[in-house]
Structure 1
Amino acid sequence: MNTQAPHSATLGADIRALRKARGLTLTEIAAQLNRSVGWLSQVERDRSDPSISDLRQIAECLGVPMSMLFAHSSVPVAEQGYVVRAGSRRPMGSGEEGLIEELLSPDLTDDFEMVHSTFEPRSRMQKPANRPTQEVGYMISGRLDLTIGPSQFTVGPGDSFRIRHEPYQWANPYDEPAVAIWVIAPPVY
């Protein structure tokens, strides 16, 4: 019996979108899970409900936090796939580096995802990232120091920036949080 009904219509689609964004096949993931391709296909089509242990393994295979795959029971069925309420955003990442991220997109089935990012005061990205994505960020509040490729910038409220599959790193050496909205294509979370 599915106790996560309000989200079940998108769980499988999110898993499929994440798998495809990573260039992985059903066969590859099923082998890592020690499950059949048929079972995984049914999960992706929301015809089978994975256990918590299954979700933990799927999240590990896809390189996402398990919270990305949890349902939010507060989402009314009529709003699924359309509306994300402020109190129902899915958290992403561990927050270890002082970055708190929440998914603004209703699910991961589009060609892009929108993310709300809060960079805590005196926090910094430990190692540069280089993802096969195009990303645009818009600063809501605070200031953020960015290194994109060989260039360095400080951005503040109302500023926007773009990263095109190049190394980047961020830092918030300031005394107030920095808040940004990111659009990332293809979805990576």
Structure 2
Amino acid sequence: MDHHSTNSQSLGADLRALRRARGLTLAELAARLERSVGWLSQVERDLSEPSIDDLRQIGAVLEAPISMLFGHTPIPAEEAGLVVRRDARRRLGSGAAGLVEELLSPDLTDDFEMVHSTFLPRSEIGETVRRPTQEVGYLITGRLDLEIGARRFTLEPGDSFRIRGEPFRWINPYDEPAVAIWVIAPPVY
């Protein structure tokens, strides 16, 4: 399977951004993959194309879903890096807790990432999240309960919020899905 056409030169840049977000050097990641620094450097510069097995291994080490590492839909060359079509968004995370996340940013090379988050009815995150980021979210539809530190808020459509490294949890105890746009800096996926 040739996924190269769908990456439009972004796979290597995304891998580099993920590696840096995890605080790993080229040498450290190469060692964990039991590959040479030269090979990994070529992959990050889109000069060498990793196999699906390579991507699985990279995904496991970087704790990123393999679906993140290649697009599902071919992207017209003139749109690559500029436009993300609704049906071509990349899925993030596992979707495990009832949260469906899709990347709105074309890739992970900006100082921030923009995510479309759908919180399914009667779902909640298992554990409190704390990450070294600044995040701002905007609720489009539904209602969402958000715990930031010791405080709990119920968000309605049109409400927005900010999290600066505080521990937080989300809960959707309602019968409707909640949809939010979430901006995170630096990118965490």
What TM-score do you get using the length of structure 2 for normalisation?
Answer: 0.97
What residue is the counterpart of 1:157 in the other structure? 157
Query: Matched residue of 1:139: which SS?
Result: strand
Matching of residues 1-189 of structure 1 within 5 Å: 2-189=2-189
Residue 165 of structure 1: how far off its partner (Å): 0.7
Residue 4 of structure 1: how far off its partner (Å): 2.2
Gaps of 5+ in 2: none
CA gap 1:99/1:3 in 2 versus in 1, 3 angstroms = closer
Query: Matched residue of 2:10: which SS?
Result: helix
Residue 72 of structure 1: how far off its partner (Å): 3.4
Contact 2:8 2:75 in 1 (8 A): no
Residue 21 of structure 1: how far off its partner (Å): 1.2
What TM-score do you get using the length of structure 1 for normalisation?
Answer: 0.97
Q: Distance in 2 between matches of 1:46 and 1:20?
A: 17
Q: Distance in 1 between matches of 2:93 and 2:21?
A: 17
Q: Percent identity?
A: 69
Residue 73 of structure 1: how far off its partner (Å): 3.9
Residue 63 of structure 1: how far off its partner (Å): 1.1
**What is the root-mean-square deviation in Å for CA atoms of aligned residues?**
1.2
Q: Deviations over 1:72-130 (max 9, x none)?
A: 34210111100000000001111111000000000000000000000000000010010
Question: Partner amino acid for 1:4?
Answer: H
Query: Matched residue of 1:87: which SS?
Result: helix
